[in-house]
Amino acid sequence: MKKTNKPIAFNALALIDFELGEKPITVLHLGLVMIDPEARSQGLSWILYGLTCVFLFLRNQLRPIWVSNVTQVPAVVGMVGDTFSETYPKPDSGNRRTLTHLLIARQIMADHRHVFGVGDDAEFDEDRFIIQNAYTGGSDNLKKTFAQATKHRSDKYNNFCKEELNYKRGDDVIQLGKIDLNATRRFLTNDVPRGSLLGLTVAGLWILLNRLALPILYWSDNKREWNSLRPYKND
């Protein structure tokens, strides 16, 4: 959108770094999203929730990125479940909680709960991936009743939240998934308006050219070096 003076919406993603099995890992946390009430019918959701993730995936040379989300809003639970791959929990999907899901969730809850404003006194239910009494660490003003929380078009997500979360206490669900090629395909086919597909494709190809195609080209050219990237063999 062309920039004028009035900011109307934002999404703040947070990068969470830690070690998993002695290897460094970065989890992309889907952070705070806010939309000016007057702009809520303008179809900004795909920009705020998925676009940046897809660009980061392309910049990461198509390597999958783990994504985390903490919410009590059924519409957001559904958006994450429908978009990202291997998401847990995702109701009625058959998706399992793997050991990797569990280890990542434990790390996030042990050392990074300040990222999403959850206090030390909140308890993490590892079996259900529910954070009990979550609105205690700076996010207190975001606590909603079930009636206030925006619903998803699919009742499976609404029913999941209603049954699993105690809204009076202030529970959140923590979801973990991945942005990968399948998630990108789902985003492009299900979420992006047709009128924006061409522009998005050009932007995506530009990122891939910079982050993937050109480095491969320079790597394979043994006549000239390009910055710190050495060619695959020297004459």
String marking each residue 124-143 x if it binds another protein according to CB under 8 A = -------------xxx-xx-
- Pick the closest to residue 179 from 61, 24, 36 (CA basis): 61
- Stretch touching another protein by CB under 8 A, among 8-16, 62-70, 99-107, 211-219: 8-16
User: Hey, what are 192's tokens?
Assistant: 């992006």
Strands 23-30 and 65-71: parallel
**Between residue 141 and residue 180, which ones bind another protein under the rule CB under 8 A?**
141-142
Q: Is the Cβ–Cβ distance between 166 and 132 less than 8 Å?
A: yes
Q: Nearest-5° angle of CA 35, CA 157, CA 81?
A: 75
Element (H, E) at 58: helix 52-59
Q: Amino acid identity of 195?
A: G
CB of 1 to another protein, least distance (A): 5
- Stretch touching another protein by CB under 8 A, among 3-11, 71-79, 83-91, 225-233: 3-11
203 binds another protein (CB under 8 A): no
User: Does a cis peptide bond (omega within 30 degrees of 0) precede residue 89?
Assistant: yes
CB of 99 to another protein, least distance (A): 26
**Between residue 19 and residue 38, which ones bind another protein under the rule CB under 8 A?**
31-32, 34-37
CB of 27 to another protein, least distance (A): 11
Between 148 and 220, CB nearer to another protein: 148
Element (H, E) at 155: helix 155-164
Crossing angle (nearest 10°) for helices 52-59 and 194-208: 20
Q: Euclidean distance between the first and final Cα of the chain, in Å? A: 49
63 binds another protein (CB under 8 A): no
- Stretch touching another protein by CB under 8 A, among 11-19, 95-103, 151-159, 167-175: 11-19
**Between residue 37 and residue 56, which ones bind another protein under the rule CB under 8 A?**
37, 39, 44, 47-48, 51-52, 56
**Residues contributing to the site for another protein (CB under 8 A):** 1-17, 31-32, 34-37, 39, 44, 47-48, 51-52, 56, 114-117, 137-139, 141-142
